[in-house]
Amino acid sequence: MTDQILPQVLEQILSDSKTADAVFSALVPALGEVLNCDRVFLYLRNPETQMGRVPYCWRRNSNYPEVWDAEWKKEPESLGEEDPLFAAALRTEPSIFVEDVETANPEVVNKNFEAKEFGHRALIHAHLCADGLLWGVLQPCMFDRPRVWTDFDRQVIAAVTEKISPLAVAYVRGIVQAQ
């Protein structure tokens, strides 16, 4: 994938920012604007402890629910069983583009889980993986209607996840070392 595929604003954030925190803080809202989404959040996790949190969330407006966790929390033991999207992420499968939670294959999306936990209608479940492990999930979404994710959307997500996966590892490892 060439750098020309990424819009300039994203390329600049990814090349100019010096720390994972600086990249993520700037990237999440910029990605929301570039993809014209209702909300984007970034879930980061330690694959060794199965602890995670959502330190970055952008919403187009306050009508959309915020997803944010200040504290690291243990992932529920049943999460991979309840949520097929998360199970796929744990297997480090490619990112998943869900056009309509209501009509998606139940083997891919647990409609009831998504409605209860997130409330979105369409989403990208972008997996941040390194060394065969899941370090995070980047999740742009739409609330009020289905959405067909375009080739542009898919290319942007592929390029962004490739570039930020090492930063997710650095972020999590930095937190672990600081404790």
Task: Give the pLDDT confidence of 112-169 residue by residue, as tens digits.
Answer: 999 888 989 999 999 999 999 999 999 999 999 999 999 999 999 999 999 999 999 9
Please list, in sequence order, all residues whose beta carbon lies within 8 angstroms of the beta carbon of residue 174, skipping any fewer than 6 positions away.
Answer: 20
Which SS3 state, helix, strand or coil, does residue 13 take? Answer: helix
Is residue 178's pLDDT more than 90? no
Torsion of CA 89, 92, 95, 98, to 10 degrees: -40
pLDDT at residue 70, rounded to an integer: 84
Summarised one tens digit per residue, pLDDT across range 68-109 is 998 999 999 999 899 999 999 999 999 999 999 999 999 999
Residue 4 DSSP code = G
Q: What are the structural domains, with CATH classification, of the chain? A: 8-177 (3.30.450.40)
